[in-house]
Structure 1
Amino acid sequence: MLTDFQRKVLRILYNYKGGRRRFPTIHELTVKTGKLNPDVMAALDALIAAEYIYWDDKSDTSNIAILEGWERESEKPQLPKVQSTLKPANTDYWTQY
C-alpha cells in the first residue's frame, strides 16, 4: 500500500505528463509537494520498488515510465461498511406535482 505522499507523487507524475507532455523535474516535484529533495527521491524509489514506475537511468526524470497510474485496488485500505439510519428519500413531491 502506498503512503499518502507516494500516492501524491504518482498522481503528480501522471497528471503532469498528461497535461504538459513531459515529466516534472525533481525541483518541480519538490515545489509541488512541498517536501525536500531526499523525501521526493525516497518516494520515487518506493514507487520503483512497488513497480508503479520504471526509472532505469536516474540522470533525468524524462526517463521515467509509468507502469500504473493509480493505486491498485487490492492495496487500497478497506473502509468499514456503515449502515445508514436515514429513511428512503420521498420523491413523490417532485414526481407527482
Structure 2
Amino acid sequence: MLSDIERKVLRIIGNYSAGRRRTPTIDELCIKTGRSRGGIMEVLGVLKREEYIEWDRMQPDKIELLEAWERGVHHPWQVR
C-alpha cells in the first residue's frame, strides 16, 4: 500500500502523462507537492521499487510510467 505522498506523486505523473503527453520534471513535482527535491527523489525511489515507474537517479527527469493506479484498490469508475 502506498503512502499518501506516494499516491499523490503517482497521480501527478499519471495526469501529466495523459494531459501533456510527457512526465513532469523533478522541479514540477516539487512545486505540485510542496516537497523538497530530496523528498521527491525518495518517493520516486519507492515508486520504482514497487514497479509503478521506471526511473534512474542519474537521469532524474526521465520518468516512465508503468502503472498509473495503486494496485489492490477498487476505484468506483473501474469495471470489475
Cα distance in 1 for residues equivalent to 2:36 and 2:56: 22
Scaled by the length of structure 2, what TM-score is found?
0.82
1 or 2 for the larger relative contact order (CA 8 Å, sep ≥6)? Answer: 2
Residue aligning to 1:67: 66
Deviation at 1:56, TM superposition (A): 3.8
- Report SS of the residue matched to 1:64: strand
Residue aligning to 1:26: 26
Deviation at 1:24, TM superposition (A): 1.0
Cα distance in 1 for residues equivalent to 2:9 and 2:39: 10
Deviation at 1:17, TM superposition (A): 1.3
Per-residue CA deviations over 1:1-50 (Å, capped at 9, x if unaligned) read 10000000000000011111111111110000011111100000000001
What runs of 5+ residues in structure 2 fail to find an aligned partner?
74-80
Scaled by the length of structure 1, what TM-score is found?
0.69
- Report SS of the residue matched to 1:16: helix
Residue aligning to 1:46: 46
| Moved >2 Å (runs of 4+) | none
Q: Is the 8 A contact 2:23 2:64 kept in 1?
A: no
Q: Aligned partner of 1:25: which letter?
A: T
- Report SS of the residue matched to 1:6: helix
How many residues are matched?
A: 73
Cα distance in 2 for residues equivalent to 1:21 and 1:58: 22
Cα distance in 2 for residues equivalent to 1:66 and 1:30: 18
What runs of 5+ residues in structure 1 fail to find an aligned partner?
77-97
Q: What is the root-mean-square deviation of aligned Cα atoms in Å?
A: 1.4
